[in-house]
Amino acid sequence: MLRTSASRVLDDNDREEVLALLDLDPVANVFVASRVRSVGLNSARLGGQMWGFGPRGGLTSLCYAGANLVPVNAGQEAVQAFAERARRQGRRCSSIVGPVQAVEPMWEILQPYWGPARAIRWQQPVMRISSAPLAAPDPLVRRVRPDEFDALLPACVAMFTEEVGVSPDTGDGGALYRTRVAELIRIGRSYARLDGRQVVFKAEIGAVTPQACQIQGVWVHPERRGQGHAVAGMAAVVDQALRYFAPVVTLYVNDFNSPARAVYRKVGFTEVGTFMSVLF
């Protein structure tokens, strides 16, 4: 049994303190911060719980416990406290993801109870850009229209399956995933180059705060790879993201994905941290 100070479930009374803590690293925390800014800390709206470590007025660490388990600013004692709460609750998440210095020791504690993992991404460089892209943007990359959902969805499913290793159609038949794809289109955060009804390049802006936004779901049609679409497409999305959403654009990528890392460097991204993901 772990012996550590207890964590606690936070609520909307903790919102300002939570946001102040998240704002200490707006790039690393963009996903969690976007959720809190959008819906607050009520568990029903948040789609999970927010755990805090430290007393009210003295929070030092957080952990979002929803579809993903995401530690925030978590040192050794906080990691132990969050892992113990997660162990008692039982696994409800599909992944543990966040800064490697927190996720790795958290997984060491939880592995005997939650293992084995389906996949572990030990090193995922976190990258950012806050100035105009170094490459020329593709002028044909634009926001996807709602009537193009049926054209975009197969590309999104292909990207997800390539990246995660399982299809998003498992479980609920893909209903939740389709809803998310449609929502990103509706709010103007889905971008693509379409030649007719074929998606050549696509990417989404998945999380947005006043300080940063995060690009996700980058994909080029297999028959069109190696033709420069990734660099030009990413340059176009970065240009739009800086123009309309936030002053900093970020993403994270698997360390073994050398082609993607080379693309992002050509666009102007620099590495500023390292994530780790444990996938179930």
Q: Is residue 184 part of a domain?
A: yes
When pLDDT is cut at 50, 70 and 90, the band that residue 56 belongs to is: confident
* 251 DSSP β-pair partners: 127
- Tens-digit pLDDT profile for residues 118-137: 999 999 999 999 999 999 99
User: The domain containing residue 69 runs over which residues?
Assistant: 8-116
Out of 73, 98, 116, a domain closes at 116
Chain-centroid distance of CA 24 in Å reads 18
- Integer-rounded Cα radius of gyration of the chain: 19
Give, as one character, the DSSP assignment of residue 25. Answer: S
**Mean predicted lDDT score pLDDT of the chain:** 96
Between 70 and 170, the more confident residue is 70
Q: Is residue 261 part of a domain?
A: yes
260 and 186, same structural domain?
yes
Residues near 243 by beta carbon (within 8 Å), at least 6 away in sequence: none
pLDDT at 169: 86
Tell me what the mean pLDDT of segment 175-183 comes to.
95
Out of 116, 133, 168, a domain closes at 116
When pLDDT is cut at 50, 70 and 90, the band that residue 173 belongs to is: confident
| CATH code for the domain of 183 | 3.40.630.30
Q: Is residue 123 part of a domain?
A: no
When pLDDT is cut at 50, 70 and 90, the band that residue 70 belongs to is: very high
Task: Work out how many domains the chain is built from and give that number.
Answer: 2
Residues near 174 by beta carbon (within 8 Å), at least 6 away in sequence: 157, 167, 168
Helix boundaries (H) for the chain:
15-22, 30-39, 43-46, 76-89, 100-114, 149-164, 175-186, 229-244, 258-267
148 and 110, same structural domain?
no
For residue 49 the two structure tokens come to: 């719980």
- Tens-digit pLDDT profile for residues 195-214: 999 999 999 999 999 999 99
Q: Is residue 130 part of a domain?
A: no
Q: Is residue 211 part of a domain?
A: yes
168 and 235, same structural domain?
yes
**In whole angstroms, what is the distance from residue 22 CA to residue 70 CA?**
12
CB 72 within 8 A of CB 21: yes
189 and 67, same structural domain?
no
Tell me what the mean pLDDT of segment 41-63 comes to.
95
Q: Is residue 88 part of a domain?
A: yes
pLDDT at 171: 76
Q: Is residue 110 part of a domain?
A: yes
The span from the first CA to the last CA of the chain, in angstroms, equals 24
82 and 175, same structural domain?
no
196 and 102, same structural domain?
no
The model's pTM is 0.94
pLDDT at 116: 95
Out of 76, 98, 116, a domain closes at 116
**In whole angstroms, what is the distance from residue 38 CA to residue 189 CA?**
15
150 and 102, same structural domain?
no
177 and 97, same structural domain?
no
Residue linked to tokens 């909307």: 12
**In whole angstroms, what is the distance from residue 264 CA to residue 134 CA?**
10
| C-alpha closest to that of 194 among 160, 157, 147 | 147
Position 244 pLDDT exceeds 50: yes
26 and 96, same structural domain?
yes
When pLDDT is cut at 50, 70 and 90, the band that residue 4 belongs to is: low
Position 43 pLDDT exceeds 50: yes
Q: Is residue 220 part of a domain?
A: yes
159 and 98, same structural domain?
no
pLDDT at 16: 97
174 and 61, same structural domain?
no
96 and 13, same structural domain?
yes
When pLDDT is cut at 50, 70 and 90, the band that residue 1 belongs to is: very low
pLDDT at 174: 87
